[in-house]
Chain A
Amino acid sequence: MKRNSRFKLFIVLISLTFLCGCWNIKEINHRTTPLYIGVSKENDDEYIVTMYVPVTQSGESESIIATKKGDTLSNIFRQLRTDSDSALDYSHVQLIVIQEKLAENEEEMTKLIRLSMAVEQLPSQALVVITDDDIKKMFSNIDKLLGTHGTYVQEFFYKEEWAPEVSSTHIWELYRSLYSYTEDINVPIITIDKDTGIGFKGTAIFKKGKLTGRVNPKENLLLNLFHHDNAKGEIESLGSSGVIVLNSSLYMTPSMKKNEPLVSCDLKIKIDVIERNDGVTDKQIQGEFKELIEKQFYKIFTQTQENKADVFGFGQYFRNQLSYQELKKWRDEYYPKLKVNFQVHVSMK
């Protein structure tokens, strides 16, 4: 009797080993893991999805760039799944490239963002970018120049003080901006660069999935400042001199008077002059620099205020001063009335 039960236990344990083959466990080398996904739209109803998949073969690195057309995105993804040489696994997607034509369509864009958040496998910290160029060409350009390089995109977008004007946008941030009452978002625009793979061409401003404007990299730096980034390392060339930013900090004091929101921003910047024409004094450089930044700010601000897109996130500072119901009306009622008193204080090293 006792021996019998022991024998049964043994059988159960042995059968456990076979259980491991259940529910189609796929080994890491039998998965197709796309790194970049490109979505574009041709004509009117046809989507094109392009995928960049690294192929791991010991010794050499190769990659596949697959393209599929179809009338709905989920159809294409299903098609890709069927035709892929092994199990398709989206969990390593680093970058989603959206073609500008598609991005300009508010409805499509919203749908796309919702879809990418809803797909469980897709990591919500993947980056989203917009491009004017042909996506397939872009991927093959990256592949030609850099080979299979898992972290290329990450390194490109997180250069921090080596290039403070570059910004990045994750899927979850885009998703948040779809619903947020008080903050809009900017999405990086990239192009093909023959020498380095991709190039940064500023950002596009989205108001709840609607593309409302573009800013160039220099202006984007200002936007970054408002999102708690530091301008440290930025090199600015003024007409008569070149300066490098050593440190920067932004102070905001929001106030509300009779339903008229007012923000006074103080940007403190410490700069160092790296080249200057003869006879230019420090004071002149400071003045020039101050003027330049203030001009840049007001240009973007008036533009976004017209579009009712609060890309600076000023609304966030009023969340505590308005009730939740009032916040709903932030973009339409309060933001157009917002006055910003933007002042730059430049100091030299």
Chain B
Amino acid sequence: MTQRVQMALLVCVASGGFVYLLYPRLVTSSTDSGHWVMVLFQGLLQIFFMLIYKKGLDYFPDKDLIDIFRQMGKWVAFIILVPYAFILTSMVGFGLRAHSEEIIAILRMSRTPYWAVLAFLVFISAFTAIKGLGTMLRASVIVFIITNLLIMFNTLTVTANFDFYNAFPVWPSSLQFLWDTNFNFLTGFSPLLFLGFVPSENNMKYSHLFWVWTYVTFIILLSVYIPLFIFGQETVVKLHYLVEEAVDTVDMRWFIFSRQTIFFGMSLIAFTIFLNALLLWKAGQLMQKTFNWKKNKRSYSIIAFSSLAFLMGLYVPNQYMIEKSVELSTGIHALLIVIIPLIIFIYGVINRRRMAVYEKK
């Protein structure tokens, strides 16, 4: 198992955490037919930025994102990367809060307070982040296998309740959703910027990127279409946790558990922990490298960020605010997904030109 493959798997696992959170709800609320077109456009948008980003990073084979920004200038790095770390933290905080509410709903732990679940998840994520990228990469292989087995099991059992006609009409009535703000939020649900945190020469190749993209798009389609096949668009918009409700319809008379939502819950937990560990690690890495701290200071910054994220998650008052704040934080993240690849690409091109001119002289 080479490091590149492990990285691909880690990105896949982290994407799962993004996808199941609000993705199906946003998609089904912004279009009433032809959901796959929206997913596809969204995927194309992502692969476009991914390619630009990768291309830009390839101009600096032995440097990562932070090194490149530092090369541009200390202040540029400071202005872009420090807010980025805080955006990541807010994503961890609000995302984990939303996830812990969902996990409580899925596992029917209505008497467990959300702060306990939140604290537990934050603790495990921070622990993983402190242990470093190598740990995450190695563990992601096992987690990828486990979660995919669970998802496969869920999908297979859920097919018993499928009525494929529910997903019709196949074609969208209009492409209006392309100008919807929700559509732009969707771009933020992607751990794409992680690419920049490992120097390009050790990073995934284009083929790996392609496989990751295919996997993620497939997972998105699953998460959108499982509820659609079961409930149909009319009912889906009335539900809150779409995939969970869809999975809950399965009657498992032959199994020891009455609800197979627990398997969905398990895969969600694994996705969440790895996603947030990755985000926290990124935040820690950003702070450490931007300020040129010593290695051991990274764990302190991760602890600080995770406590901050915990407080953020803790003080969101209600369900509506949770959703709004998650949308807001991913919205800003989406903005960064647009900005950072473009900056890196343009800087890469300029740098290449400059080098060429320099060599000519």
Contact = CB atoms under 8 A, between A and B. Distances in A.
Interface of A: 22-25, 91-92, 120-121, 123-125, 151, 154, 158, 170, 172, 175-176, 178-182, 316-317, 319-320, 322-325, 327
Interface stretch (B106-114, B207-215, B330-338): B106-114
Given A121-B110, A123-B259, A316-B165, A324 B249 contact: no
B108 A324 contact: no
A175 B235 contact: yes
A182 B251 CA distance: 24
A181 B234 contact: yes
B294 interface: no
B327 interface: no
Contact of A180 (B113, B235, B249): B235
B124 interface: no
Contacts of B170: 320
Chain B interface: which size bin? 20 to 34
A114 B251 CA distance: 20
B31 to A, nearest CB: 9
A123 B258 contact: yes
Contact of B249 (A22, A151, A172, A325): A172
A322 B165 CA distance: 12
A287 to B, nearest CB: 34
A319 B169 contact: yes
B111 A176 contact: no
B259 A324 contact: no
A324 B169 CA distance: 7
A176 B231 contact: yes
23 contacts: A22-B116, A23-B113, A91-B108, A92-B258, A120-B105, A121-B108, A123-B259, A125-B250, A151-B253, A154-B253, A170-B251, A172-B230, A172-B248, A176-B230, A178-B235, A181-B234, A182-B165, A316-B165, A320-B170, A322-B169, A323-B33, A324-B33, A327-B169
B165 A319 contact: yes
Contacts of B234: 179-181
Contacts of A178: 235
B58 interface: no
Given A92-B258, A324-B33, A324-B173, A124 B248 contact: yes
B249 A124 contact: yes
Given A319-B168, A324-B169, A325-B173, A24 B111 contact: yes
A24 B111 CA distance: 7
B288 interface: no
B166 interface: yes
Nearest to A181: B234
B196 interface: no
Considering residues A22, A125, A151, which has the most beta carbons from chain B within 10 angstroms of its beta carbon? A125
B284 interface: no
Given A123-B259, A323-B33, 6 more contacts: A124-B248, A158-B253, A176-B230, A316-B166, A319-B166, A324-B173
B165 A317 contact: yes
Contact of B233 (A120, A121, A317, A324): A324
B176 to A, nearest CB: 13
Contacts of A182: 165
B165 A179 contact: no
Given A175-B235, A181-B234, A325-B173, A124 B245 contact: yes
Contacts of B253: 151, 154, 158
A12 to B, nearest CB: 12
B165 A23 contact: no
Interface in B219-269: 230-235, 238, 245, 248-251, 253, 258-259
Given A23-B112, A324-B33, A123 B169 contact: no
A305 B258 CA distance: 38
Contact of A23 (B108, B116, B230, B251): B116
A125 B248 contact: yes
A283 to B, nearest CB: 37
